[in-house]
Amino acid sequence: MSALTEGTSPAMPPAPSPVHLADYTPPPWLVDIVTLDVQLAPTATRVTAKTKLKPNPEAAATTSIGLDGERMQLISVSLDGQLLGCDAYTVSESKLTLHDVTAEPHELVIESECDPQANTSLTGLYRSNGVYCTQCEAEGFRRITYFPDRPDVLAIYTVRLEADKTECPILLANGNQVAQGDLADGRHFAEWHDPHPKPAYLFAMVAGDLDCVSDSFTTMSGRDVALGIYVEHGKADRTAYAMDSLKRSMRWDEEVFGREYDLDVFNIVAVSDFNMGAMENKGLNVFNDKYILVRPDTATDADYANVEAIIAHEYFHNWSGNRVTCRDWFQLCLKEGLTVFRDQEFSSDMRSRPVKRIADVKTLRAHQYPEDAGPLAHPVRPSSYIEINNFYTATVYEKGAEVVRMLKTLIGPDAFRNGMDAYFEKNDGRAATVEDFISAMEDASGRDLAQFKRWYDQAGTPELVVSGKYSPIDETFDLTVAQSTAPTPGQSAKAPLHIPLAMGLIGKDGTSLPLHLSDTNTDGDAETQTVVELTGYEQTFTFEKVTSPPVLSVLRGFSAPVKLTTNGGDKDWLFRMAHDPDPCARWEAGQTYARELLVNITRAMSAGDRPRRGTRYADALRHVLEDDSLEPAFAAMMLDLPGEAELAQHIGQNVDADAVHNARKHLQSAVADQLGDLLLDRYSQLQSNAAYSPDADQAGRRALKNACLRLYAGLGNENSARIAAVQFSSANNMTDMEAALATLTHMQREERQTAFDAFYERAAGDPLLLDKWFSLQAMSSRTDTRQAVEALMDHSDFSMKRPNTVRSLIGVFAGSNPVRFHAGDGSGYRLLTQVVRDLDPINPQVAARLLGTLKSWRVYDDARKSEAVRSVGDLLDGGKLSEDVYEIATRMIA
């Protein structure tokens, strides 16, 4: 095993050493002004960087200047107008150090060269489909020039770009354009100036032959902002929704947070090769084109919702991230968690608030809970890292957003808004910390948030055991809540957290009861919903004047990211599934009931006993289907059974992935059998000939229609295949088309092949459609899927150099197909680690993230566990890995 060979074999490179939050020291040099001259050329781009540095009065005195720099060729270094000889500095693979420098302001000019064409890591300056673009967060600027590449060094940038005019008619950088012109030999230039001091990670430039879609926005103070969305030629007809989302985001941030945009232009560029969703570079957002380009025949309702959310997210960063940035990368949640919270609120206002909340809870449970429960668990603010790119996680983003949401719940909307205003005001132009954020909230609310702050530093999902006890004699209801958090890597003891629990009591007839809380924690003055605050390991809250036994409804609106166990039992869940006035709690009641039922079925089937048919569950779903007063999108969510990965997580140990899969299939087909005609009726009723619109209403009706189809297809009969095939061939939008394929993909029928072939033809080489084609096959539960995925890797449309395609095929197989990925013979794990090994030299960031899909391996049975450990061990033993993959692999099996 690698742990044993480490350090003993002379051939083994030393293990990379981690960076610790506790070791933070202020930067020894500050930079006021950066002037870049960039001569773009495919294989040798020349960058001349002039920086004005000065010693930081808040740091220890130093006689050297240390600059970060990687994968560049250093051409020359001049200090205060003097060209330096080689003895005046040292260059290593990652640093340039100037020696014997006096502690006073200096002007430094560095010339270097990089090779964008050969850059497959997609960090720094690279080319995507011939377009030059950059990605600097977290530490990519150091691949463009030598610089103190850390977020607490903020400077004002001016950038002059020069390129061949035919190859790159468009030249963009941050800020406002201040000059442009033609040059000899068919070249031209543009100069951009960004007046706002920013850290290097927000730097961006783009050059290429792109189409531009323009629009404008007038800010709350009446300033006009020119908006541009740049896309590859032939794609401009897919940008309207992105532009509309941008304008709505800009208005919303003014109205809800009082934040106004601050430059004359806001540009977005869509590129096809991108390591993540998008990037919030100041005034020049760069996007994965998947999150810009939508048209009814190429994109689903979910794609539209993602475009809206991600456009908003990146735009909102202009304040939460750019104007107020992070002191160091440990504070990442300060911008990411907060900005996710802001984009969630935006989408809630644009769409249905309860449906959006449930969707966010589903995401949290699907991605963050397993992270918190597995070997990669870390706090919202981690305390150490080897490669910071490995910490752009569901915990930092999604749990980070939950922490902000809890804060708002605890201090109330008015104090929260005041706290946000104060946070922005006080920290504008600064690199801030989580402490700065918390202290703004403490000042605004007058509350002590010291215990609450533990949410940032303590990993793991708290488990709450909730029990209710009714006393008919005293007419009281005692709500007792106990909290505990299981140990996580590096944190064995857990302190109690400050947890807001939104709750209510429901009478037997389904009405909400007035709450009279006897304790002082809240003023439950005859409201029907209140928030009790849990701060100890165990607490009891007593409600008075409760005249008949109530049903407890707790964790309304999912008021805290916790796992809940209650003493209510099946009857309560079914009752709340029908009557809970809080949609989120109502949905959760259905999920909890279904989870328990599925665990029961899994056990029964494994023991060879006859499994339950879910009769009461089917009845509850019947009511959902018959209730016209329900929002269709909500009803669709009620119909969805918990997924296999969630069930595995819920069972928690010794899981047999096949048994879970079979149990879920059994319940789905039993329910479909009981509801068959009703499902078909609803399915037919929801058909519509209306012209496609991505609005939440229409999308919700499609969601319900397709949920009916999905459930009905649980029967796996000829009729369901026929219906799906007809839907596929007659669909006038991608949502219905994809839903039909998602049903057919699991089947062993001719209709499946016919539809996939037709879809491939229709894709006509469009990468975004081909990615759908890949992922729909990778998610199939057919027993031959792993072989199919391997064969697709040889397909001419598959490329390891395109992150979207790798994620669509391998990422979907490993992350969304538990039964085939967690195959008992370990073949899924071997496929994944082989891909990671092959991808690592090409793109370590994407490779590391892919390996992360293995994070739940420990909940499976011994045979699977040893296969997982063997595969990761082989990866570690098989030769040098990037720091990205090394860190994930070692933590995975530590």
User: Pick from 68, 198, 207: which is nearest to 134 by CA?
Assistant: 207
CB of 135 to ligand B3K, least distance (A): 7
- Please count the CA atoms within 13 angstroms of the CA of 23 that sit on its side-chain side: 7
342 binds, among Zn ion, ligand B3K, none (CB under 5 to 8 A by kind): none
- Which partner, ligand B3K, Zn ion, none, binds residue 276 by CB below 5 to 8 Å per kind? ligand B3K
CA pair distance 491, 486, nearest whole angstrom: 9
Instruction: Specify the residue, 281 or 890, whose C-beta has the smaller distance to Zn ion.
Output: 281
Stretch that binds ligand B3K, among 179-187, 312-320, 449-457, 626-634 (CB under 6 A): 312-320
Which one, 115 or 314, has the nearer CB to ligand B3K? 314
CA distance 266 to 227: 5
Q: Which does 883 bind (CB under 5 to 8 A by kind): Zn ion, ligand B3K, none?
A: none
Q: Closest distance between ligand B3K and the C-beta of residue 165, in Å?
A: 31
* Minimum distance, C-beta of residue 343 to Zn ion, in the bound complex (Å): 8
Integer CA distances (angstroms), 301 to 285, 638, 769, in order: 23, 18, 14
Which residue from 532, 533, 255, 560 is spatially nearest to 404, judged by alpha carbons? 560
Q: State the minimum distance, in angstroms, from the CB of residue 340 to ligand B3K.
A: 8
Q: Is 126 or 341 the residue whose CB approaches Zn ion more closely?
A: 341
Task: Check if the beta carbon of residue 462 is closer than 8 Å to that of residue 484.
Answer: yes
# residues near ligand B3K by CB under 6 A: 12
What contacts 866, CB < 8 A, 6 or more positions away?
none
CA angle centred on 875, ends 869 and 876, rounded to 5°: 90
Q: What are the structure tokens assigned to 235, written together?
A: 């794609």
User: Which residues make beta-bridge pairs with 65?
Assistant: 98
> What is the smallest separation between the CB atom of 137 and Zn ion, expressed in angstroms?
9
Give CA–CA dist 647/48, Å, rounded. Answer: 56
Closer of 339 and 804 to Zn ion (Cβ): 339
Residues 635-638: contacts with CB within 8 Å, 24+ apart? Answer: 635/704, 635/707, 636/700, 636/703, 636/704, 636/706, 636/707, 637/355, 637/358, 637/359, 637/362, 637/587, 637/703, 637/707, 638/577, 638/586, 638/587, 638/590
Which of Zn ion, ligand B3K, none binds 268 (CB below 5-8 Å, type-dependent)? Answer: none
Shortest distance (Å) from residue 757 CB to Zn ion: 39
According to CB under 6 A, which residues from 123 to 162 bind ligand B3K?
137-138
Q: Which is nearer to Zn ion, 336 or 840 (CB)?
A: 336
Residue 336 CB, nearest approach to Zn ion (Å): 5
> For ligand B3K, which is the closer residue by CB, 288 or 833?
288
Partner from Zn ion, ligand B3K, none contacting 553, C-beta within 5 to 8 A by type: none
Q: Which of 205, 32, 35 is nearest to 114 (CA)?
A: 205
Cβ 397 to ligand B3K shortest distance, Å = 7
Cα distance between residue 793 and residue 815, in whole Å: 17
Which three-class secondary structure state does DSSP give residue 160?
strand
Contact flags string 781-820 toward ligand B3K, x per CB under 6 A: ----------------------------------------
- Find all residues with CB under 8 Å of 780, minimum gap 6, and list them: 745, 746, 788, 817, 820
Chosen from Zn ion, ligand B3K, none, partner binding at 389 (C-beta under 5 to 8 Å by type): ligand B3K
Q: Which does 591 bind (CB under 5 to 8 A by kind): Zn ion, ligand B3K, none?
A: none
Residue 358 binding partner per list ligand B3K, Zn ion, none, with a CB distance cut-off of 5 to 8 Å that depends on partner kind: none
Residues in the chain: 894
* Nearest residue to 543 (alpha-carbon basis) of 481, 466, 474, 464: 474
Question: Quick check: bond before 482 cis, omega within 30?
Answer: no
Site for ligand B3K, residues 485 to 544, rule: CB under 6 A: none
Q: In 3-state terms, what secondary structure has residue 190?
A: strand
Q: How many CB atoms lie within 10 A of CB 218?
A: 12
Distance, CA of 545 to CA of 548 (rounded, Å): 9
Residue 430 Cα to chain centre, angstroms: 25
Give the active site residue among 162, 280, 314, 345: 314
Render 321-350 in DSSP notation, one character per residue: TTTBEESSGGGHHHHHHHHHHHHHHHHHHH
Alpha-helical regions (H) of 125-264: 240-257
Answer yes or no: are the C-beta atoms of 269 and 287 closer than 8 Å.
Answer: yes
Distance between CA atoms of residues 440 and 436, nearest Å: 6
Considering only residues 253 through 292, tell me which ones interact with ligand B3K, judged by CB under 6 A: 276, 278-280
Structure letter (DSSP) for residue 485 = -
Piece in contact with ligand B3K (CB under 6 A), picked from 311-319, 495-503, 522-530, 651-659: 311-319
626 noted as active-site residue = no
Q: Which is nearer to ligand B3K, 201 or 634 (CB)?
A: 201
Instruction: Please list every residue from 379 through 398 that binds ligand B3K, using CB under 6 A.
Output: 389, 392
Q: Among residues 340 and 503, whose Cβ is nearest to ligand B3K? A: 340
698 binds, among Zn ion, ligand B3K, none (CB under 5 to 8 A by kind): none
Among 232, 301, 303, 314, binds ligand B3K (CB under 6 A): 314
**Whose Cβ is closer to Zn ion: residue 249's or residue 592's?**
249
Based on CB atoms, which residue is closest to ligand B3K, 318 or 720? 318
Q: Nearest distance from residue 580's CB to ligand B3K, in Å?
A: 34
Q: Which residues of 463-477 are buried (b: 16+ CB within 10 A; e: fewer)?
A: ebebebebeeeeebb
235 binds, among Zn ion, ligand B3K, none (CB under 5 to 8 A by kind): none
From the list ligand B3K, Zn ion, none, pick the one residue 137 interacts with, judged by a Cβ distance below 5 to 8 Å according to partner type. ligand B3K
| Secondary structure (3-state) at 555 | coil
Residue selected from 313, 323, 556, 786 as contacting ligand B3K according to rule CB under 6 A: 313
Instruction: With beta carbons less than 8 A apart as the criterion, state whether 103 and 56 touch.
Output: no
Does 840 sit near ligand B3K (CB under 6 A)?
no
Nearer to Zn ion, 138 or 555 (CB): 138
Which residue type occupies 353?
Answer: R
CB of 313 to Zn ion, least distance (A): 5
To ligand B3K, the closest distance from the beta carbon of 136 in angstroms equals 9
Where b means 16+ CB within 10 Å and e means fewer, 325-338 reads bbbbbbbbbbbbbb
State the binding partner of 357 from ligand B3K, Zn ion, none, CB within 5 to 8 A by kind.
none
Residue 138 near which of ligand B3K, Zn ion, none (CB within 5-8 Å, type-dependent): ligand B3K
Cα separation, 810 vs 318, whole angstroms: 33
Least distance in angstroms from the C-beta of 321 to ligand B3K: 7
**Site residues for Zn ion, window 308-347 (CB under 5 A)?**
336, 339
The angle at the Cα of 422, spanning 421 to 425, to the nearest 5 degrees, equals 85
Return d(Cα 228, Cα 206) in angstroms, integer: 13
Considering only the stretches 31-39, 313-321, 516-524, 726-734, report the one whose residues sit in contact with ligand B3K under the rule CB under 6 A: 313-321
Work out how close the CB of 309 gets to Zn ion at its nearest, in angstroms, rounded to a whole number.
11
| Bridge partners of residue 833, in order along the sequence | none
Could you give the CA distance from residue 342 to residue 320 in angstroms, rounded to a whole number? 9
Per-residue contact flags (x/-) with ligand B3K for residues 317 to 356, judged by CB under 6 A: x------------------x--------------------
- Nearer of residues 26 and 277 to ligand B3K, judged by Cβ: 277
CB nearer to ligand B3K: give 126 or 573.
126
Task: List residues binding ligand B3K (CB under 6 A).
Answer: 137-138, 276, 278-280, 313-314, 317, 336, 389, 392
Task: List residues binding Zn ion (CB under 5 A).
Answer: 336, 339
Catalytic residue IDs:
314
